[in-house]
Structure 1
C-alpha cells in the first residue's frame, strides 16, 4: 500500500494541529470528489506547509545571509505580498500549494497598475527568487512566477540625464549660498563617485585632508571592500568648511531644516533625495530628469572626456572593468570638435 503523509508536528499547539488537520482533510475530500489522484499529481513534500509561516522562514534565513538594506527590501516585498494574499481570499491557514500560476499572474497584473516598468521587473525578480527558494526547500515543484513576462528593456530605461555646464554651475552657486554641507555631498558624488548610501554612513574620521583622501570601509561599501577616493584640489576648499573636529560624528548629520552639517545622528540617503526633490530642483527649475545621481553620471563623463586616463577614472569610480568606464566616452549631447574637423572625403 502506498501512502502520502502530511506532517503537522511543526505546529506546537495540539488544538491548532487538530484544526489544521481537519481543514486539510476537508480540502482533500473536495479534491477527491472532483477526481483528483494524489499518486498521479507531481506534488512537493512540503506542499501543505502554511504560506505565511513559509514566508517568515524565508525572511529569517535571508536575514542571516544578506546586508541590512537587502533584508529591508525583502521584508517590504513580503509584507506587500501578504497584504495582497489577505485581500484575495487567502489567510494565515492557506497552504503554499494553494498559490497557483494564475494567482501569480493576477498579483503581477495588480502590481503593473501601481508601479513603473522598472519596479515591475524588479518585483518579478524578487518573487522568482522567493519561489525558487521554496523549490529548493521542497515546498513546491514549479515556480508560478516564471509564467509572468518581464517588461521590455526599452520601457525600463532610467529617466535621468547629464547636467549641462550651465546647470552644474547654477547648482554650485546656489548650494554654496544655501547649504554648504549638501554642496560637499553633491561634489563627493560628482568628483569622487561615492554612492548616496555610502555617503550617509561616512564619518568625519574617514576624511584625510592631508592626503586628500576619503576612506570607505568594507562595512559600508556596496562591494564590501575597503577603498579610497581622491579629493580633487578644486573641491578641497568646500570640504575644509565642514567641522571635522569630532572624528566619530557622521559627516552628514540629520538636523532640522535640512541642515546636513556633521552630527551624532546620520542623515539617510532618502533625506538626501528628499532635499533634492523638494528644495533644490524646484528652486533651480531643474526638470525631473536631473536627479541627484545624475551628478555621478555627469562627473564620470566629464572626467573621461577631459582626458583623465581611463584607468584613473576606473579606480575612482570603482568599476570592475575598463569596459564599464568606456561606456562614458563621448556620452554628451555636444558634437565632437575632433570629428567635425575630420576630412576623409576625396
Structure 2
C-alpha cells in the first residue's frame, strides 16, 4: 500500500535523525518532500492506493505538479526528482517494489538552469560594507565570513567561538558542522578578526555560537533563514538588484581573490570547492593560514 510505504519512510527518516545520521536540515527537507508527495497524490482525480501504481508516469506528473502547478524553480524540481528516486529506492530495498520507476526520469540539465545570482560590482560591495558598518556590524560579520572565508549560511549558524584561532588566523570547521562533512581549515583575514574583536565576541564562553539570537553570540543555534532574511532587508534598504543574493558575496569574494592574483590553490582551499577531493590528489591541502589571505582587504 502507498500509505504504508510513506509511513515506513517517515519512520526511517525519524530514526536516521535521532541516530545523528541525518542533520536537522536534511530531516526537515525529507519531511517536506514526503508531504508534497502525499499532497500531490491527494490532489489527483484518482489517487493511487497501491505502490505498483507509482509508475514512471506518476513520477513525471508529480514533477510537473511541483514545477508547473506549484510554480517552483527548475532546480527545485530537480531536487524533488532526487527525492522521488530516493523514496522509490527505499521501497525497493524494503521489498515493497520490484524496481525503481523514477530511475529513467531525467533532470533538467544544470547548464540550462540560469543561476539567479551574480557577482556584485566593487562599488556596490563598498556601499554594503559602509552601510552595515554604520547600522549592523553583526550582520557585517556574517557578510565578511561569506565574502572572505566562503562560510555558507548554514555553516555560519553552527560556528562556535572555539573554532576560531586568532593566533594562527584560522577558522576550523569540524566535519559535523561542515556542509560536506569534512573537517576543514580556512584563513581568517585580519579585517575579519579586527571586526570580531571590535564586537567583543570573544568575551563570551568558547562553547557559544558566534551567531545566536539577534545574530549575537549565544547558546541557542538559530535557523539559517534568519541570516538570509537580514540580507533581504538590506536589499530593500539599499534598493539592490534582486539577483544579488546573499550567496553572491561568496562568488564576488572568490572572483576578487582571483583578480588579486592569489594562487588557484589558495583560492581552492579558502573556498573549499567541491573539486577539492580531486585536487587533493595532486596538492596537499593547506593546514596553516595563507599569508596572502591574512592581509586581504577587499571592497567589502
Give yes or no for the alignment of 1:156 onto 2:113: yes
1:35 alignment counterpart: none
Which of 167, 170, 181 matches 1:210?
167
Report the Cα distance in structure 2 between the residues aligned to 1:97 and 1:204, rounded to whole angstroms: 52
The structural deviation recorded for 1:239 is 1.7
Give yes or no for the alignment of 1:102 onto 2:60: no
1:7-86 pair list within 5 angstroms: 50-60=4-14, 62-63=16-17, 64=19, 65-86=21-42
Report the Cα distance in structure 1 between the residues aligned to 2:194 and 2:54, rounded to whole angstroms: 60
2:209 alignment counterpart: 250
Contact persistence 1:58–1:130 (CA under 8 A): no
Report the Cα distance in structure 2 between the residues aligned to 1:249 and 1:60, rounded to whole angstroms: 27
The structural deviation recorded for 1:188 is 0.8
Could you list the per-position Cα deviations for residues 220-261 of structure 1 after superposition, in whole angstroms to 9, with x for gaps in the alignment?
Answer: 111222222211123332121222212222111213xxxx22
Report the Cα distance in structure 2 between the residues aligned to 1:51 and 1:223, rounded to whole angstroms: 30
The structural deviation recorded for 1:61 is 6.2
Report the Cα distance in structure 1 between the residues aligned to 2:139 and 2:207, rounded to whole angstroms: 19
Contact persistence 1:193–1:317 (CA under 8 A): yes
Secondary structure, in 3 states, of the residue corresponding to 2:172?
Answer: strand
1:15 alignment counterpart: none
Contact persistence 1:118–1:157 (CA under 8 A): no
Query: Which runs of 5 or more residues in structure 1 are unaligned?
Result: 1-46, 324-346
Give yes or no for the alignment of 1:287 onto 2:220: no
Contact persistence 2:120–2:248 (CA under 8 A): yes
The structure-2 alpha-carbon separation of the partners of 1:206 and 1:291, relative to structure 1 and needing over 3 Å to count, comes to same
Contact persistence 2:40–2:65 (CA under 8 A): no
Deviates more, 1:120-129 or 1:261-270: 261-270
Contact persistence 2:208–2:217 (CA under 8 A): yes
Secondary structure, in 3 states, of the residue corresponding to 1:265?
Answer: coil
The structural deviation recorded for 1:313 is 1.5
Could you list the per-position Cα deviations for residues 309-338 of structure 1 after superposition, in whole angstroms to 9, with x for gaps in the alignment?
Answer: 221212211230559xxxxxxxxxxxxxxx
Query: Which runs of 5 or more residues in structure 2 are unaligned?
Result: 281-300
Report the Cα distance in structure 2 between the residues aligned to 1:169 and 1:50, rounded to whole angstroms: 56
The structural deviation recorded for 1:66 is 3.0
CA-based RMSD:
2.3
Aligned residues: 270
1:176 alignment counterpart: 133
The structural deviation recorded for 1:304 is 1.4
The structural deviation recorded for 1:184 is 0.9
The structure-2 alpha-carbon separation of the partners of 1:68 and 1:310, relative to structure 1 and needing over 3 Å to count, comes to same
Which of 303, 307, 313 matches 2:261?
307
TM superposition score normalised by structure 2: 0.81
The structure-2 alpha-carbon separation of the partners of 1:181 and 1:158, relative to structure 1 and needing over 3 Å to count, comes to same
Q: Based on CA coordinates, which of the two structures has the bigger radius of gyration?
A: 1
Contact persistence 1:242–1:262 (CA under 8 A): no
Report the Cα distance in structure 1 between the residues aligned to 2:198 and 2:2, rounded to whole angstroms: 63
The structural deviation recorded for 1:159 is 0.7
